[in-house]
Amino acid sequence: MPGRDPGQTGKCPSGNCRGEGRSSPLGTLRIEGGRKPNRSKKKRRNVMSKEKIFERAKAGDVNVLDDENATPYLGAQNEDGETPIHYLASAGKTEILDHPNAIPFLGVMDKEDDTPVHCLAQIGKTEILDHPNAAQWLGVQNVRGNTPVHSLAWKGKIEILDHPNAVPFLGVPNKDGDTPVHLLAMEGKTEILNHPNAAPFLGGQNEDGKTPIHYLARVRKTEILGHPNAAQWLGVQNNFGDTPIHYLAMEGKTEILDHPNAVPYLGVQNKYGKTPIQILNKQ
């Protein structure tokens, strides 16, 4: 047929009249009337940028806070409700407390109701106690009922006993009934026995009926036997009927046999009918 090259069938010679384009040293040449450029590419690049920002934050790259391409995503939340600021906090980056691009998101909660301030506390960052941008979040409880002060207690940070921003939360129970004072006791911090801010909570029982004195006994702290702030709680029984003396017996502490503050409880039975003496004899 006139005007057609040999072998042409009515379709474009290379089959690319529908927008695939022809090869060129400069890239693809679009044929007029072909498919419009894919407008979704820009959107896909933004999604990738968002993912990259989360990756950078997770790696502890604080420079992401100053990246103008990252700024729109600093408050974005992933499927767990975490923002890049949560990730920076978990990496221990206290710079978020001062950075104007991070400050608006310090109180954002993830699906566990943890804020970035919780995340800093969970790795023992006591800087949150002094910082005015963190102070307002110190009493926020997550789904487990833990405040950032609880988390600092878990890390054994006895600074919470003296700090005016933490003291109001020393008696706050979590979902298990444990206060920060209980958690300090779990960590073996006998400083709670002498501290006036902890004293009001030494006899408080959690959901299992345990006091901070029970916890100190569980970690072999025989100091409780002779301490006046502990002595009055030595006979308190938990939900299983165990006193702190039972716990010392479980740890093989024979000091209980002679100590005048322990002797009155040597015959107390727990719910299994066991006394501290019986427990000691099985050690």
**Band of the pLDDT at 20, cuts 50, 70, 90?**
very low
Residue 4 has pLDDT above 80, yes or no: no
At 155, list the tokens.
Answer: 């890390």
Residue 233 has pLDDT above 70, yes or no: yes
Same domain, 65 and 91: yes
In a domain, 36, yes or no: no
In a domain, 33, yes or no: no
**Band of the pLDDT at 283, cuts 50, 70, 90?**
confident
Same domain, 122 and 189: no
Same domain, 154 and 192: no
Average pLDDT over residues 120-146: 98
In a domain, 124, yes or no: yes
Range of the domain at 255: 179-283
DSSP string, 149-198: HHHHHHTT-GGGGT-TTTGGGTT---TTS--HHHHHHHTT-GGGGT-TTT
The number of domains in the chain is: 2
Same domain, 113 and 151: yes
DSSP lists the bridge partners of residue 29 as 22
Same domain, 92 and 200: no
Give the C-alpha separation, 196 to 6, whole Å.
100
In a domain, 17, yes or no: no
In a domain, 38, yes or no: no
In a domain, 102, yes or no: yes
Percent of the chain with pLDDT over 70: 83
Same domain, 229 and 156: no
Q: Please tell me the chain's helix, strand, coil percentages from 3-state DSSP, rounded to the nearest 5.
A: 40, 0, 55
Residue 2 has pLDDT above 70, yes or no: no
Same domain, 127 and 164: yes
pLDDT value for 19? 40
pLDDT value for 160? 98
Contacts of 3 (CB under 8 A, 6+ apart): none
Domain edge (last residue) among 115, 146, 169: 169
Same domain, 53 and 165: yes
In a domain, 25, yes or no: no
At 25, list the tokens.
Answer: 């040293």
Domain edge (last residue) among 111, 140, 169: 169
In a domain, 12, yes or no: no
Degrees, nearest 5: CA angle 238-149-121: 125
Nearest to 267 by CA among 251, 256, 252: 256
Q: What is the pTM of this model?
A: 0.82
Residue 103 has pLDDT above 90, yes or no: yes
Residue type, 204: G
Q: What is the pLDDT of residues 192-203, one digit of tens each?
A: 999 999 999 999
Please state, rounded to an integer, the average pLDDT across all residues of the chain: 88
Same domain, 165 and 183: no
CATH code (residue 82): 1.25.40.20
Domain edge (last residue) among 169, 196, 218: 169
Q: What is the pLDDT of residues 24-41, one digit of tens each?
A: 333 443 334 455 555 554
